[in-house]
């Protein structure tokens, strides 16, 4: 019997118009463009502004663009999985809001929380529904309005994050293209190093939690960096080894964009030269679940059928993992 794989058949990304540059941040906190660029690689990030605008608005834009490119009606979508740590509401799920906003009236959906690994976790989950033959069209979207949980007086976090979304469409492939292998990992004992202290059931919102700024991202950057460098590289090398891929075989590394130094360390361990690594952190910063699909969006025109891509990420949880996929289509002509 022919093996069915889940292949990405369309990709689209969205970032809001408003830009916050390193120089803008120099006016808010004690930092410098030079420090941010050399320590992280970031030059600017996009920020979603406007009353009532949330993560779902960016996710909806990404999915609408994707449907247009693939020439499908949103009503054809069976399932929307939204990876995010900045849902519109605690409930209902952002995926429910998104399906309504795009008119995907035949789809069901749910949110998936895995912080910066959210997109690859969701890709791994979404692919199962295609591989089993249960569904024909599954959308995986990574979207985060990080500016909604960032303290713009904390220089250790506000320089890193930005807002954005990216979405892919998964469809069945019987020619060996699409997702070949995934490795997903987590270690909840790392939760204290990167989290949002309040707003959940353990510590519901109160005057005190607001006064203590407990609804913002808390990160012990040094510790997270240490784990990220090791785990992202380990899992990327592991997925290469177990699929018999040499560094020559890998066409592209599509890394989570948290810090250029983490990306470089991962590429280095994989034996890849810079020209095989997607890096757009300078323009968007860390958009959490949005980084990897935004890379695919930006590089789509350079991707060819049969290219070997390794996607890898590390994030809060701790969560980390890697996906090996064979790109399934050539860039659109004209
Ligand atoms: O995406 C999910 C996972 N997240 C990550 O992977 C992020 C991992 N962590 C990082 O990327 C880095 O740790 C940061 C970018 C957050 C920080 O860079 P670092 O090289 O680890 O800096 P550091 O925390 O060791 O701080 C070095 C110095 C400190 O000053 P002292 O103690 O040496 O005087 C900080 O206070 O830099 C200072 N510093 C800053 N200076 C200027 C920290 N933030 C800033 C800043 N501007 N924005």
**Binding site membership of 286 for ligand 1 (Cβ less than 6 Å):** yes
Query: Which structure tokens are listed for 206?
Result: 């109160």
Q: Which residues are catalytic?
A: 116, 256, 286
Q: Closest ligand 1 atom to the C-alpha of 115?
A: 2
**Binding site membership of 292 for ligand 1 (Cβ less than 6 Å):** no
Q: Closest ligand 1 atom to the C-alpha of 159?
A: 48
Radius of gyration of the chain (CA): 19
CA of 285 to the centre of ligand 1 (A): 14
What pLDDT digit, counting tens, does each position of 81-105 carry?
999 999 999 999 999 999 999 999 9
Q: Whose CA is nearest to atom 39 of ligand 1?
A: 156
Q: Whose CA is nearest to atom 29 of ligand 1?
A: 156
What pLDDT digit, counting tens, does each position of 158-173 carry?
999 999 999 999 999 9
Q: Closest ligand 1 atom to the C-alpha of 160?
A: 15
Query: Residue 3: which of 239, 180, 184 has the closest Cα?
Result: 180
Q: Whose CA is nearest to atom 16 of ligand 1?
A: 221
Query: What average pLDDT does this structure show over 314-326?
Result: 98
What pLDDT digit, counting tens, does each position of 57-72 carry?
999 999 999 999 999 9
Q: Where are the domains of the chain?
A: 5-177, 180-326
What stretches of the chain adopt beta strand conformation (E)? Answer: 5-14, 19-21, 44-46, 79-83, 108-112, 138-145, 163-173, 178-186, 194-196, 217-219, 252-255, 308-315, 319-326
Question: pTM for this structure?
Answer: 0.97
What pLDDT digit, counting tens, does each position of 115-147 carry?
999 999 999 999 999 999 999 999 999 999 999
Q: How many CB atoms lie within 10 A of CB 20?
A: 20
Q: How many CB atoms lie within 10 A of CB 294?
A: 30
**Binding site membership of 265 for ligand 1 (Cβ less than 6 Å):** no
Query: What average pLDDT does this structure show over 205-233?
Result: 97
Give CA separation, 247 vs 39, 250, 301, 304, in Å: 27, 5, 22, 18
Identify the pLDDT of residue 333.
Answer: 61
What pLDDT digit, counting tens, does each position of 190-210 carry?
999 999 999 999 999 999 999
User: What gap in Å lies between CA 287 and CA 193, rounded to an integer?
Assistant: 18
CATH code of the region 180-326: 3.40.47.10
CATH code of the region 5-177: 3.40.47.10
The pLDDT confidence band at residue 331, using thresholds 50, 70 and 90, is confident
CA of 156 to the centre of ligand 1 (A): 6
Residue 19, pLDDT > 50, answer: yes
Identify the pLDDT of residue 334.
Answer: 43
What is the average pLDDT score of the chain? 97
Cross-strand pairs, 185: 320
CA of 35 to the centre of ligand 1 (A): 9
């Amino acid at each position: 019997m022919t093996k069915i794989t889940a292949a990405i058949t369309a990709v689209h990304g969205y970032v809001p118009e408003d830009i916050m540059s390193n120089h803008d941040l120099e006016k808010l906190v004690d930092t410098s463009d030079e420090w941010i660029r050399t320590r992280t690689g970031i030059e600017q990030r996009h920020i979603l502004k406007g009353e009532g605008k949330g993560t779902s608005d960016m996710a909806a834009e990404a999915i609408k663009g994707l449907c247009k490119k693939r020439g499908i009606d949103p009503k054809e979508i069976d399932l929307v999985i939204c990876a995010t740590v900045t849902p519109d509401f605690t409930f209902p799920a952002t995926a429910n809001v998104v399906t309504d906003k795009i008119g995907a009236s035949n789809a069901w959906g749910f949110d998936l929380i895995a912080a910066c690994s959210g997109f690859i976790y969701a890709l791994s989950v979404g692919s199962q529904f295609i591989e089993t033959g249960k569904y024909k069209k599954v959308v995986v979207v990574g979207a985060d309005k990080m500016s909604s949980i960032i303290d713009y007086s904390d220089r250790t976090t506000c320089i890193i994050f930005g807002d954005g979304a990216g979405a892919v469409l998964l469809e069945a492939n019987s020619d060996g293209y699409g997702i070949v292998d995934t490795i997903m990992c987590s270690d909840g004992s790392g939760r204290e190093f990167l989290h949002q202290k309040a707003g959940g059931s353990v510590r519901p919102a109160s005057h005190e939690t607001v006064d203590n700024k407990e609804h913002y991202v808390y990160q012990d950057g040094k510790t997270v960096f240490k784990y990220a460098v090791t785990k992202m590289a380990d899992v990327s090398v592991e997925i290469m080894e177990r699929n018999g891929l040499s560094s020559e075989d890998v066409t592209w590394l599509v890394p989570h964009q948290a810090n250029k130094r983490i990306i470089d360390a991962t590429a280095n361990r994989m034996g890849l030269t810079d020209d095989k690594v997607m890096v757009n952190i300078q323009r968007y910063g860390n958009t959490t679940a949005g980084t990897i699909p935004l890379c695919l969006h930006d590089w789509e025109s350079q991707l060819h059928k049969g290219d070997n891509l390794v996607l890898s990420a590390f994030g809060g949880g701790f969560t980390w993992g890697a996906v090996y996929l064979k790109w399934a289509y050539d860039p659109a002509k004209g």
